[in-house]
Amino acid sequence: MIPVFPGTVDAAGRRATLGVMGGGQLGRMFVHAAQRLGYFTAVLDPDAQSPAGLVSHHHVRTGYDDPAGLAQLTELCQAITTEFENVPAQALQTLAQTRPVAPGAAMVGIAQDRIEEKAHFAACADISGVTCAPYAVIETPGQLQAVLDERADLLPGILKTARLGYDGKGQVRVRTAEELAAAWAELGSAACVLEKMLPLSAECSVLVARGWDGQVVSFAPQRNVHVAGILAVTHAYEGALPPVLADRAREAAVAVAQHLGYVGVLCVEFFVVDDGTEHGGLVVNEMAPRPHNSGHYTIDACDASQFDLQVHAMAGLPLPQPRQHSAAIMLNLLGDVWFDADGQQRQPDWQTVLSLPGAHLHLYGKVQARVGRKMGHLNITGLDVATVKNVARRAADVLGLPGLDAI
């Protein structure tokens, strides 16, 4: 790929412009990172009030598979990325006929389908040293019956839809054969995977950036705490994970990116299994072909954020190895924070929160708060872990956030 340098103007008078499919908060933070470097930006999203569209130079307000909208985006941009994995892979394939697209349609397609995703994890297990949890594919009544007859070892387990499941959606915990059959019917007999439920001691993730030339850089692994299937707290500091485990996770994530020939920012999520060893076993869970909620701390704790690397990777610029200069904890802010115990809407106590040392508030510009909706995040940074934890607890208490006992 020929690099797209910021601040340049082509023969037709067009400024260097980077495009993003999707107008949510990840697109918004990508736009901020691109604009800081001097790029113009274009967002394709049907919502006139989309967080990214509101701050971009151009907002193409069409559906993700609208031919006219896709043509307009390619006319505006020199390179294009995506902010979420449920953009139609075919749309990315169409864009790639005339513009560099990172990540490509094939990579996004794998992440859109848990069946394909797990097959790829298994295929690169020899080089990554890590595989996924035992699982079975259920797409037909015959496959369901085969699991009931032959794979009792997968129970208790978690039945997950192969497509369109995120933040705990499209997942049902099942303990018995009867519950499995009922759950599959409840999910509309859609294509699913049944994963064996493992004794988990922690969850972690690794962010990797890979360029068109195969250069790879990565952030140190971060430990994550989920509440009701949604990320609540990310711990990002030395000692958040045992060093042996952190090294294995980082190496495995890089191996996954290399095996796929991936271009862009990739987040690989892992389970830490309580297997009786000092550091526990590592099992790969899933991947996100984009920046990730668990990497938001990088905006304030590192000299290059995950969004900076997204810009560099897609534009063909050199990838700097990011350096973390501060211990950090990220607190996810859902719409619940805007409601009291009686369900009445309120304004969060930003006065107190913003008076805390090392507190960095990031709100996403969403017009309406709803329970469970991601509205923003709060990064807490500091010189030492003890201080960061103390401030994070105070902030979580003021805002009434879940996961306080995990900080």
Model confidence at 127, pLDDT cuts 50, 70, 90, reads: confident
Instruction: Assess whether pLDDT exceeds 80 at residue 12.
Output: no
29 and 163, same domain (yes or no): no
The least confident of 80-84, 122-126, 222-226, 270-274 is: 122-126
- Asked whether the predicted pLDDT for residue 13 surpasses 90, the reply is no
Check pLDDT > 70 for residue 317: yes
Same domain, 227 and 253: yes
In a domain? residue 189? yes
What's the chain's average pLDDT?
94
Query: 298 and 383: one domain?
Result: yes
CATH number at residue 317: 3.30.470.20
- Tallying the residues shown for the chain, one arrives at 407
* 121 belongs to a structural domain: no
Last-in-domain residue among 196, 230, 250: 196
Q: Report pLDDT for 170.
A: 82
Summarize the annotated binding site for ATP as residue ranges: 114, 160, 165-171, 195-198, 203, 226, 285-286
Q: How many domains does the chain have?
A: 3
pLDDT tens for each residue of 176-194: 999 999 999 999 999 999 9
Residue 65: CATH number of its domain: 3.40.50.20
Confidence of residue 165 (pLDDT cuts 50, 70, 90): low
Q: How sure is the predictor about 112, in pLDDT bands with cuts at 50, 70 and 90?
A: very high
- Residue 206 — very low, low, confident or very high, per pLDDT cuts 50/70/90? very high
Residue 347 lies in a domain: yes
Which CATH number fits the domain that encloses residue 188? 3.30.1490.20
Residue 183 counted as domain residue? yes
Predicted local distance difference test score (pLDDT) of residue 168: 60
Mean pLDDT of the 156-164 span: 91
Within a domain: residue 11?
no
- The predicted pLDDT at position 166 comes to 62
pTM of the model: 0.95
Q: Are 204 and 144 in contact (CB under 8 A)?
A: no
Do 286 and 400 lie in one domain? The reply is yes
pLDDT of 271 strictly over 80 = yes
* pLDDT(40) > 70: yes
Q: Are the CB atoms for 254 and 207 separated by under 8 Å? A: no
Q: Which residues are annotated as a binding site?
A: 114, 160, 165-171, 195-198, 203, 226, 285-286
Q: What share of the chain in percent tops pLDDT 90?
A: 87
Q: How confident is the model at residue 10 (pLDDT cuts 50, 70, 90)?
A: confident
Residue 219 sits in the same domain as residue 142: no
Question: In terms of residue numbers, what domain contains 180?
Answer: 134-196
Distance CA 260, CA 106 (A): 9
